Structure 1
Amino acid sequence: MRLHLMTWPQVEAYLAHSTAIILPIGSTEQHGPTGLIGTDAMCAEAVADQVAKALGVVVAPTLAIGMAQHHMAFPGTMTLKPSTLLALVEDCLLSLVRHGFDRVLMINGHGGNVATINAAFAQTQMELDRLSPRPALRTRLVNWWETPEVMAASVRMFGDAVGSHATPPEVALTWALHPDLADPHPLVPAVAPTGAFFGAGDFRNSFPDGRIGSNPSLASPAAGEELLKIAADEMTRLASDFFA
């Protein structure tokens, strides 16, 4: 169930028997020469939708723009400042709490969001401490690509070419969703370099095609379908325990 496709009476009826909701979050950023700019948001949303179908839980609208300042040297990337993202997440959580949601699972598709989301969780709890009676709220953040079974499957499929950005697992998942956009042509070098970076300009200088340690040419829609099922199954187990 998508929150934005429901009416308010339907939401009110849902809250009478469940106070659980999934809030997907991703990013709008470059993913190398063959990865889609919306990759992180699409992956998080796809996994969230599968979990929602399995558990009968509502999914809030995806927060599709995250903290991606380090990708801003590549056209098409959009970013929020950490302070803006923190305020956005906090305001979303407080809105949901106001209506009675008290279990919020955030399924994340972008590593650059993690620190700010955790800060938003803490700030939201501090804001709730000022209210009397204090509303209950439990939050959890899970990065879909870092769950044990997904990581094991990624290594099985792609070996040491997974890398850390524009990875074949995330690219494959988006190609499963949009097979007409799949572009597995060989890249040079096949596996991108790895290393540290400092800011957007240094990122592009160090990784000129946008990849870090990855070979997304190994991706395929079929691999993406398998990874989506693995991620959804594992996330459904995590979500079921959290919402209980």
Structure 2
Amino acid sequence: MKNVWLQENKWQDVEGYLKTKKTILVPFGSVEQHAHHLPLGTDSFLAQKVAEDVGRSTNTLVAPPVWTGWAPHHMAYPGTITLRPETLTAVAEDTLQSLIYHGFEKILIVNGHREANLPPLKIAMTRLRNKTGAFIAIVDAFYFNAEAGKRLRKSAPGGIGHAEELEASHMFYLYPELCDPAKTATNIADKHPFLQHDPYAEGDRVLTASDVAGYREATNGIGLMGDAAPSDAVTGEAYHKAFLENLTELIRYCEEEVKVNVRKPDIPL
């Protein structure tokens, strides 16, 4: 493909692509506060860049990004845009159903709004799997790039959360012009271990909900949850490369090993 982005191609290009390849990447992100050192579009920027880089190296099409996600807690800070969860589910379902209608059979959602977007996206994915038989997987950095995250982190337990060292390092490497490293900070909350948000800290934990006022307080009035102080572009480069390696292997596995029997769906109406 001359252009990795679906929207930059002509319909004939897509028709030709589908004769030999049925896989497509779909980036989902969010527009939400990321403390004082990262831009509002961080989640979307990272999802797009991961998808674009892997798309180029594997000759895999990338669908237009979905910029907004489910982020009600981040409404505590100006600039955040949130969708209702049912809206995000509907957007995801209609987007993927359109792609399946045209002949895409293996869809990899690259989710930049780590963890928070998962409930709405999993509902859409499950509905379409049962409706069409297509293979759909969600690639979420908290889980898909977990081994690299555990290996590369420098912060103490509680240091991984939101706008922290892994997310910040990734941005410092890919989009340094949009970041302000001098404004990184540390906000590791003194919580009961069951309430700890850090996905890589040892121990058992529960899932809790946040309200706007509570999230503002928990993020210390700056929007940070965790430790951004150890962030650096070198770590971000290693984290990015590990992500690309994993996603490249997933694409290979999907194309060579995953068998599907897809039923063409109706047009979303």
Q: What TM-score do you get using the length of structure 2 for normalisation?
A: 0.80
Residue 33 in structure 1 maps to residue 36 in structure 2 = yes
Match of 1:209 in 2: 222
CA separation in 1, counterparts of 2:179 and 2:53? 22
Kept in 1, the 8 Å contact 2:149–2:166? The answer is no
Contact conserved, 1:104 with 1:140, CA < 8 A, in 2?
yes
How far apart are residue 233 of structure 1 and its match? 0.9
1:192 and 2:188 correspond: yes
Match of 2:135 in 1: 138
Q: Supply the RMSD in Å over aligned alpha carbons.
A: 1.9
239 and 144 in structure 1: CA distance in 2 versus 1, 3 angstrom threshold: farther
What is the alpha-carbon distance in structure 2 between the residues aligned to residue 181 and residue 39 of structure 1? 9
Paired-residue identity, % = 29
Cα distance 1:187–1:105, how it changes in 2: closer, same or farther (>3 A)? closer
Distance 1:205 1:161, change over 3 A: closer
| Residue in 1 that maps onto 2:171 | 174
Number of the residue aligned with 1:150: 148
| Equivalent residue runs for 1:1-244 within 5 Å | 1-110=4-113, 111-126=115-130, 128=131, 135-146=132-143, 147-155=145-153, 157-160=154-157, 162-185=159-182, 187=184, 190-193=186-189, 195=191, 198-207=210-219, 208-212=221-225, 214-244=226-256
Task: Report the Cα distance in structure 2 between the residues aligned to 1:236 and 1:5, rounded to whole angstroms.
Answer: 22
Asked whether the 8 Å contact 1:176–1:224 carries over to 2, the reply is yes
Structure 2: how far apart are the matches of 1:187 and 1:59? 32
CA distance in 2 between partners of 1:211 and 1:59 (Å):
31
Structure 1 residue 186 displacement after superposition: 5.5
Give 1:131's aligned residue.
none
Query: What secondary structure sits across from 2:182 in the alignment?
Result: coil
Greater mean deviation of Cα atoms: 71-80 or 164-173? 164-173
SS in 2 for 1:185: helix
Q: Distance in 1 between matches of 2:164 and 2:112?
A: 12
- Deviation of residue 194 (structure 1)? 5.7
Q: Which amino acid aligns with 2:224?
A: R
- The whole-number CA distance in structure 2 between the counterparts of 1:237 and 1:125 is 22
Q: Which has the higher helix share?
A: 1
Query: Residues 215 and 22 from structure 1, CA distance in 2 versus in 1: closer, same or farther, beyond 3 angstroms?
Result: same
Contact 2:68–2:83 (CA<8 Å) still a contact in 1?
yes
In the alignment, the residues of structure 2 paired with residue 29 and residue 186 of structure 1 have an alpha-carbon distance, to the nearest angstrom, of 18
Aligned equivalents of 1:115, 1:124: Cα separation in 2: 15
- Note the residue ranges of structure 1 that are not aligned, 5 or more in a row: 129-134
Stretches of structure 2 lacking an aligned partner (at least 5 in a row) = 192-207, 257-269
> 3-state DSSP class of the match of 1:217?
coil
Structure 1 residues 194 and 35: alpha-carbon distance in aligned structure 2, compared to 1, 3 A threshold: farther
Q: TM-score, normalised by structure 1?
A: 0.88
